[in-house]
């Protein structure tokens, strides 16, 4: 894979997390599946990186790999994950435990991310207990974390997860992550299962916390509008590879990769002024076990030519500053872009 | 698939409804069992009380010494209620003391197999690999062999003592408990709350004890009565064959064995010990079914 | 059946679930029509009663649910029919696609056969012809090599493909009305778009009517003619889609629209939130269902249920005591831009 440590516009030099050449392979009944294939990413302190891509593109796998939460059976992974100067990939299990408090994860399903048999205050305090925080301090920190997400300790004391709604559970999950005072939170589709009116709460809450604590986030979602709202930079994944990466404006206003364009076109927009013309075309999604030669997107790409099948495109800077892995990147504003109308 | 639609109804959240529609007090009500299941549970409680307090039943004679004529027919006195056996001991007294013996053996053996099985199963489910294969092999072997034969072979080797019987009965069910625990662990292994605990830096031991173990308890409790019923039968068979608790201590199986000799002449005398085994096993199985059913419906509800 | 008769008309329909200590009202005063060759969008949050509404129309609501009122399907009063006839009638007139393609298909039967069998149940056709029809339907919904796919099992297909197959199955009886209940919710964006495009194409080509149910306003926005907003089991707003999106009159619709992140907002825009939770069935507010969360709620909102009233466009109706102003303006290029600007 190529080195992507070329400067990208809009990045700060203080990199909190730097992933290089991360690959994760799962073997399923003898077949090797490259869930993540040579991904390099970085996140600066206080910055939010959005990860988008269709189902199965490897978003969750990257998030879990960062926190070393991948299953151990049938999994191989390699690459370097430098976090605050430490290479997580080379740490032992015990060494990794020492780093745990500094990065946290929020899961998609708010209900299953809690042990149904434990009480909320114990759940939120769990990380502190593990870190050996004394009891008195634990209580104040749990209270503070709950207060950050809009709960008083008295509201939740003695109650179990099933007594809370999805949105409330997601707020408690955020409190649990905040209680250990991490510098980075990986949010894996944190609002996907919430209703619109509740989703807005959680997004705003994450934004407030991000500002107040200078928290870095990796925000995984397939809702591109949500990602646009929360992210400073966005990385687009296709079949385990980053195909485009850049600032929010670059990606959303001048997407260079045909796949990014396809994704953006597919976003349902609340625009009822005209009736949509349904498109008739559709292409099969290629197999993950035997990916196409050359560019993995070529089976669905309207621009594909012979060269795309022979030579794999590598991430290179596009004219507009973002990084793109395509032989023939677009250089015009997106036809659906709203920048055009403004 | 019939008309597009009809059989496809799904996807409503009944659990939510049930919870929303249920006033808080109804949570405290006895969890809805049928009258039959209640009776079975009551019978088991009664049996445990007997086992604990049989010494204090006023007027009950010792089970080890003759009290009346040989093979006396049942009458309406306390000690003669079920008749006397071939050497004149009170059958009622022996059945009641036999309950203590059987329950103690089964209880201790179950404690043994649950603790070892749980430990093995949790480790096997958590770390998989070699240990998992060994647990599977063990469980499969044990369920393939007729348990009475295994126990007999063991007891002939070690000699009959209460300790040996408990040990071998305990060993019998380790595999089954281990397998139940293992399945529970595997199903939780990639649940988000286990991942969350790992992300917090919890050690494996802490994850196993705090996150996984509490969620295994219901499944284990549900299989326990059924397995205990099996142990009662195995222990009874063992005593029946003369390899059980050494005489003259009373045991249900041994009593059935001694009354079979006289079965043609005094068939009533076999009723007491037989009923004791049948009722106990039946009650245990009923309660086991009830627990398993409850467990399923609750998991579906969540 | 005359052409100007609406395909579906619900008049003062309501659904009650029998429960302790009192029956729960899931839907109340539902009133709407679906004209021929048009598409209606039904939107609302989880628990608003969208699926219950669809199931009541299909006559497949759970046994504990009592449906009252009048449902006219293709000019026939459903409740005046015998249950058996009703089921057949609905089966012929309406096709339905549910949210979860995994549970809707029998995993042990090849997909083509599932469609063919359903075909044989409705029309007394020989096996070969049923097979031909099934293959034809699979082709219609854009399955490549339908002859081969006929013998594949559901697990050979991706979620989007399964949903296409479900659409094929729903078309067996040439229904006049196609209902898609969150048919694309489980799919990811690109596939969702393909399936929605397919639904829309089929609706237009076959001159059907369609009901598109979703909790995502974006899904119904450009694809329906009319839209019905459900909240807490009530219709709170109902009208031409473009009207409702451009100028929502009910406070809930407006709040919902501005709570959504839009593609044209700059990064880190604060979203407008709606305080509180949707009402629970067990304790519904006495007045407007939205009153506990509504910023404009005043006296009457808490006590009396607002009646449906009409805007300047008589087709645009809403149930609010203090509706938003009618902002008469030129049709904007994008309803979303308009809203984004106003929210700030
Ligand atoms: N433990 C595992 N064993 C084998 N394959 C796996 C495992 N976990 C994930 N995969 C596979 O890896 C690929 C990437 O999965 P991943 O969950 O990262 O996708 P994702 O981008 O998060 O998708 P989604 O949007 O559906 O969550 C998928 O094809 C998935 O089937
Ligand atoms: N079988 C049932 N018995 C009792 N209550 C039910 C039943 N099915 C649904 N409900 C309740 O009726 C209300 C409406 O449910 P419905 O499934 O129609 O909501 P929905 O709008 O489709 O939501 P979602 O977006 O989650 O699918 C909910 O409060 C739900 O809990
Ligand atoms: S490299 Fe070729 S096939 Fe791949 S995205 Fe670019 S144009 Fe399309
Ligand atoms: S009726 Fe009152 S409470 Fe309901 S939406 Fe209108 S203003 Fe708000
Ligand atoms: Mg994922
Ligand atoms: Mg629904």
HEC secondary structure over chain C: CCCCCCCEEEEEEEEEECCCCCCEEEEEEEEEEECCCCEEEEECCCCCCHHHHHHHHHCCCCCCEEEEEEEEECCEEHHHCCHHHHHHHHHHHEEEECCCHHHHCCCCCCHHHHHHHHHHHHCCCCHHHHHHHHHHHHHHCCCCCHHHHCCCCHHHCCHHHHHHHHHHHHCCCCCCEEEEECCCCCCCHHHHHHHHHHHHHHHHHCCCEEEEEECCHHHHHCCCCEEEEEECCEEEEEEEHHHHHHCCCCHHHHHHHHHCCCCCCCCCCCCCCCCCCCCCCCCCCCCCCCHHHCCCCCHHHHHCCCCCEECCCCCCEECCCCCCCCCCCCCCCCHHHHHHHHHC
Task: Check if the beta carbon of residue B100 is closer than 8 Å to that of residue B51.
Answer: yes
pLDDT tens by residue, C138-190: 888 888 788 888 888 888 887 788 888 889 988 888 899 999 998 888 788 88
In a domain, residue B272? The reply is yes
Q: Under CATH, to which class is C8-108+153-343 assigned?
A: alpha beta
CA distance A183 to A101: 9
Q: How confident is the model at residue B297 (pLDDT cuts 50, 70, 90)?
A: low
pLDDT of residue A335: 67
What rounded mean pLDDT belongs to chain C?
86
Mutate to test the interface with B, among A75, A115, A145, A185 (most CBs of B within 10 A): A115
Q: How confident is the model at residue C273 (pLDDT cuts 50, 70, 90)?
A: confident
What rounded mean pLDDT belongs to chain B?
83
pLDDT at residue B27 greater than cutoff 50 = no
Name which residue sits closest to atom 3 of ligand 4, judged by CA.
Answer: C291
Chains touching chain A, criterion 3+ CB pairs below 8 Å: B, C
Non-local (6+) Cβ contacts of A299 within 8 A are A283, A284, A286, A292
Chains touching chain B, criterion 3+ CB pairs below 8 Å: A, C
Give first-to-last CA distance, chain C, whole Å. Answer: 50
Say how many Å lie between the CA of residue A329 and the centre of ligand 3: 8
In a domain, residue B18? The reply is no
Task: Check if the beta carbon of residue C102 is closer than 8 Å to that of residue C155.
Answer: no
pLDDT of residue A223: 87
Average pLDDT over residues B180-203: 90
C-alpha to C-alpha distances, B254 to A53, A153, B122, B259, nearest whole angstrom: 71, 61, 38, 9
Non-local (6+) Cβ contacts of A9 within 8 A are A246, A247, A250, A321, A322
CA distance A101 to C73: 60
pLDDT of residue B74: 83
Q: Tell me, what CATH number does B36's domain have?
A: 1.10.3720.10
pLDDT tens by residue, A148-169: 888 888 888 888 888 888 888 9
Q: How many residues does chain A have?
A: 342
DSSP SS3 for B105: helix
- Whether residues A103 and B199 touch (CB distance < 8 A) is answered with yes
* Short-list C33, C17, C96, C42, CA closest to C70: C33
The neighbour count for residue C278, using CB atoms within 10 Å, is 21
Residue B4 forms contact with C (CB below 8 Å)? yes
- Whether residues A64 and B210 touch (CB distance < 8 A) is answered with no
Chain A residues within an 8 Å CB radius of C262: 225, 269-270
pLDDT of residue A110: 79
- Whether residues B214 and A118 touch (CB distance < 8 A) is answered with yes
**What residues are in contact with ligand 3 under a 6 Å CB criterion?**
A 257-258, 295, 297-298, 301, 303-304, 308, 313, 326-328
Say how many Å lie between the CA of residue C308 and the centre of ligand 4: 12
Closest ligand (CA of A316):
3
Say how many Å lie between the CA of residue A283 and the centre of ligand 1: 21
Q: What percent of chain C has a predicted confidence (pLDDT) above 90? A: 41
Rg (CA), chain C: 21
Q: List chain C domain ranges.
A: 8-108+153-343
When mean pLDDT is compared across A149-153, B294-298, C284-288, the lowest value belongs to B294-298
* Structural domain count of chain B: 1
CA distance C196 to C180: 10
- Whether residues A115 and B215 touch (CB distance < 8 A) is answered with yes
- Whether residues B6 and C280 touch (CB distance < 8 A) is answered with no
pLDDT at residue B300 greater than cutoff 70 = no
B216 is in which domain, residue-wise?
32-57+84-301
CA distance A236 to B214: 40
- Looking at CA atoms only, how far is residue A331 from chain C in angstroms? 20
* Short-list A201, A200, A269, A199, CA closest to C245: A269
pLDDT at residue B271 greater than cutoff 70 = yes
pLDDT at residue B1 greater than cutoff 70 = no
The residue of chain C nearest to residue B4, with distances taken between CA atoms, is: C170
Average pLDDT over residues B174-182: 93
Residue C36, phi-psi category: left (phi > 0), alpha (psi -120 to 50), beta (remainder): beta
Closest ligand (CA of C63):
2
CA distance C29 to A61: 48
CA distance C203 to C183: 15
Of C194, C218, C245, the CB nearest to A268: C218
Mutate to test the interface with B, among A75, A126, A132 (most CBs of B within 10 A): A126
In a domain, residue B62? The reply is no
Chain A residues within an 8 Å CB radius of C159: 55
- Looking at CA atoms only, how far is residue A203 from chain C in angstroms? 8
pLDDT of residue A44: 94
pLDDT of residue A9: 42
Which residue is associated with the tokens 């306003």? C217
Task: Check if the beta carbon of residue C143 is closer than 8 Å to that of residue C158.
Answer: no
C-alpha to C-alpha distances, A41 to A62, A75, A87, A252, C259, nearest whole angstrom: 10, 21, 14, 19, 31
pLDDT of residue B226: 92
Q: Report the nearest atom of ligand 4 relative to the CA of C296.
A: 7
The neighbour count for residue B37, using CB atoms within 10 Å, is 18
pLDDT of residue A15: 86
Residue A236: its H or E element: strand A233-238
**Which of C236, C250, C284, C317 should be mutated for ligand 4, with most atoms under 8 A from CB?**
C250
Residue A312, phi-psi category: left (phi > 0), alpha (psi -120 to 50), beta (remainder): beta
pLDDT of residue A62: 95
- Whether residues B4 and C170 touch (CB distance < 8 A) is answered with yes
Q: Report the nearest atom of ligand 3 relative to the CA of A304.
A: 3
In a domain, residue B14? The reply is no
List b or e across A93-131, with b for residues whose CB sees 16 or more CB atoms inside 10 angstroms. eeebbebbbbbbbbbbbbbbbbbebbebbebbbbbbebb
Please calculate the CA angle B293-A115-B127 and round it to the nearest 5 degrees: 90
Q: Which residues pair with A25 in a beta bridge?
A: A34, A76
pLDDT of residue B33: 73
pLDDT of residue A193: 82
Please calculate the CA angle B191-B194-B195 and round it to the nearest 5 degrees: 85
Sites in chain A below the pLDDT cut of 50: 1-12, 338-342
- Whether residues C261 and A263 touch (CB distance < 8 A) is answered with no
Say how many Å lie between the CA of residue C10 and the centre of ligand 2: 19
Closest ligand (CA of C228):
2
Residue C16, phi-psi category: left (phi > 0), alpha (psi -120 to 50), beta (remainder): beta
Name which residue sits closest to atom 2 of ligand 2, judged by CA.
Answer: B14
CA distance C176 to C210: 8
CA distance C307 to C309: 6
* Short-list A162, A180, A113, A68, CA closest to B193: A113
| Cis peptide upstream of residue B26 (ω within 30 degrees of 0) | no
Q: How confident is the model at residue B293 (pLDDT cuts 50, 70, 90)?
A: confident
In a domain, residue B78? The reply is no
The answer to whether the CB of C215 is under 6 A from ligand 2 is: yes
Task: Check if the beta carbon of residue C267 is closer than 8 Å to that of residue C252.
Answer: no
Please calculate the CA angle B29-B30-B34 and round it to the nearest 5 degrees: 135
- Looking at CA atoms only, how far is residue B190 from chain A in angstroms? 8
Chain B residues within an 8 Å CB radius of A67: 199
Give first-to-last CA distance, chain A, whole Å. Answer: 39
Average pLDDT over residues B164-182: 93
Name which residue sits closest to atom 27 of ligand 2, judged by CA.
Answer: C46
Residues 14-53 of B with CB under 8 A from C: 16-17, 20-23
Rg (CA), chain A: 21
């Amino acid at each position: 894979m190529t080195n992507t440590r070329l400067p990208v516009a809009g990045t700060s030099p203080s990199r909190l997390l730097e992933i290089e050449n991360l690959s994760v392979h799962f073997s399923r009944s003898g077949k090797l599946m490259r869930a993540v294939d040579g991904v390099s990413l970085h996140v600066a302190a206080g910055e939010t990186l959005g990860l988008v891509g269709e189902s199965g593109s490897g978003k969750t796998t990257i998030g879990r790999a960062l926190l070393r939460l991948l299953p151990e059976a049938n999994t191989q992974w390699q690459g370097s994950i430098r976090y605050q100067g430490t290479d997580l990939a080379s740490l032992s299990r015990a060494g990794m435990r020492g780093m745990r408090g500094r990065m946290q994860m929020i899961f998609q399903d708010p209900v299953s991310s809690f042990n149904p048999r434990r009480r909320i205050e114990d759940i939120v305090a769990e990380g502190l207990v593990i870190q050996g925080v004394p009891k008195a301090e634990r209580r104040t920190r749990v209270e503070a974390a709950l207060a950050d997400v809009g709960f008083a300790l008295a509201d939740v004391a003695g109650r179990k997860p099933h007594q809370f709604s999805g949105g409330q559970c997601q707020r408690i999950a955020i409190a649990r992550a905040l209680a250990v005072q991490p510098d980075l939170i990986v949010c894996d589709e944190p609002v996907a299962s919430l209703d619109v009116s509740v989703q807005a709460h959680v997004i705003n809450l994450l934004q407030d916390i991000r500002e107040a604590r200078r928290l870095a986030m990796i925000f995984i979602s397939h809702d591109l509008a949500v990602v646009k709202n929360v992210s400073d930079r966005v990385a687009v994944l296709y079949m385990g590879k980053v195909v485009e990466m850049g600032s929010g404006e670059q990606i959303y206003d001048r997407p260079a990769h045909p796949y990014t364009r396809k994704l953006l076109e597919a976003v349902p927009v609340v625009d009822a002024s005209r009736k949509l013309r349904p498109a008739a075309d559709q292409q099969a999604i290629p197999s993950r076990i035997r990916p196409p030669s050359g560019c993995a997107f070529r089976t669905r790409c309207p621009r594909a030519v012979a060269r795309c099948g022979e030579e794999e495109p590598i991430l290179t800077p596009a004219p507009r500053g973002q990084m793109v892995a395509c032989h023939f990147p677009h250089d015009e504003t997106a036809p659906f872009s709203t920048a055009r109308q403004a | 698939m019939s008309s597009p639609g009809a059989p496809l109804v799904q996807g409503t959240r009944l659990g939510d409804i049930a919870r929303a529609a249920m006033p808080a007090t109804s949570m405290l009500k006895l969890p809805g069992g049928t009258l039959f299941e209640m009776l079975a549970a009551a019978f088991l409680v009664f049996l445990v009380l007997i086992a604990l307090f049989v010494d204090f039943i006023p007027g009950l004679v010792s089970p080890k010494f003759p009290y009346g004529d040989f093979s006396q027919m049942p009458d309406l006195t306390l000690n003669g209620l079920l008749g006397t056996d071939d050497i004149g001991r009170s059958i009622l007294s022996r059945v009641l003391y036999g309950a203590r013996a059987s329950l103690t053996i089964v209880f201790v053996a179950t404690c043994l197999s649950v603790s070892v099985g749980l430990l093995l199963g949790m480790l096997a489910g958590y770390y998989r690999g070699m240990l998992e294969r060994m647990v599977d092999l063990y469980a499969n072997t044990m369920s393939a062999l007729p348990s009475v034969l295994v126990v007999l072979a063991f007891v002939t080797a070690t000699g009959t003592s209460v300790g040996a019987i408990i040990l071998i009965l305990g060993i019998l069910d380790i595999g089954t408990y281990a397998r139940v625990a293992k399945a529970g662990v595997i199903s939780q292994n990639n649940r988000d709350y286990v991942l969350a605990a790992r992300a917090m830096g919890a050690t494996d031991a802490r994850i196993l004890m705090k996150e996984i173990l509490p969620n295994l308890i219901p499944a284990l409790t549900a299989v326990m009565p059924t397995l205990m019923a099996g142990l009662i039968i195995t222990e009874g068979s063992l005593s029946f064959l003369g390899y059980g608790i050494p005489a003259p201590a009373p045991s249900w199986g041994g009593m059935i064995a001694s009354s079979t000799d006289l079965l043609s002449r005094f068939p009533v005398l076999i009723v007491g010990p037989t009923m004791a085994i049948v009722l106990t096993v039946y009650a245990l199985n009923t309660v086991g079914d009830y627990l398993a059913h409850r467990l399923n419906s609750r998991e579906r509800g969540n | 059946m005359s052409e100007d008769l609406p395909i579906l008309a619900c008049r003062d329909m309501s659904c009650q679930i029998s429960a302790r200590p009192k029956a729960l009202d899931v839907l109340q005063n539902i009133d709407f029509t679906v004209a021929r060759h048009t598409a209606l969008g039904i939107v609302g949050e989880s628990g608003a009663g969208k699926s219950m509404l669809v199931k009541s129309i299909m006559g497949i609501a759970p046994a504990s649910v009592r449906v009252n009122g009048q449902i006219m399907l293709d000019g026939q009063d459903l409740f005046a029919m015998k249950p058996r006839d009703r089921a057949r009638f609905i089966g012929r007139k309406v096709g339905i696609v549910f949210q979860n393609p995994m549970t809707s298909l029998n995993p042990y039967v090849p997909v083509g056969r599932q469609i063919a069998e359903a075909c044989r149940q409705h029309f007394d056709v020989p096996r070969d012809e049923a097979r031909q029809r099934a293959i034809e339907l699979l082709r219609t919904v854009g399955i490549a090599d339908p002859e081969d796919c006929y013998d594949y099992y559901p697990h050979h297909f991706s979620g989007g493909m399964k949903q296409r197959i479900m659409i094929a199955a729903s078309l067996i009886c040439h229904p006049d009305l196609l209902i898609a209940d969150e048919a694309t919710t489980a799919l990811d964006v690109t596939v969702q778009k393909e399936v929605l495009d397919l639904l829309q194409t089929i609706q237009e080509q076959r001159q059907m009517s369609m009901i598109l149910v979703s909790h995502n306003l974006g899904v119904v926005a450009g694809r329906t003619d009319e839209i019905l907003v459900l909240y807490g089991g009530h219709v709170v707003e109902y009208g031409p889609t473009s009207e409702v999106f451009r100028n929502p009159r009910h406070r809930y619709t407006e709040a919902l629209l501005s709570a959504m992140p839009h593609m044209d907002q700059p990064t880190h825009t604060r979203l407008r939130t709606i305080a509180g939770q949707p009402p629970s069935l067990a304790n519904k507010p006495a007045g407007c269902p939205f009153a506990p969360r509504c910023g404009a709620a005043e006296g009457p909102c808490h006590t009396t249920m607002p009646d449906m009233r009409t805007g300047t466009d008589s087709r645009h109706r809403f149930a609010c005591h203090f509706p938003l102003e009618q902002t008469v303006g030129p049709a904007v290029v994008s309803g979303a831009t308009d809203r984004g600007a106003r929210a700030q």
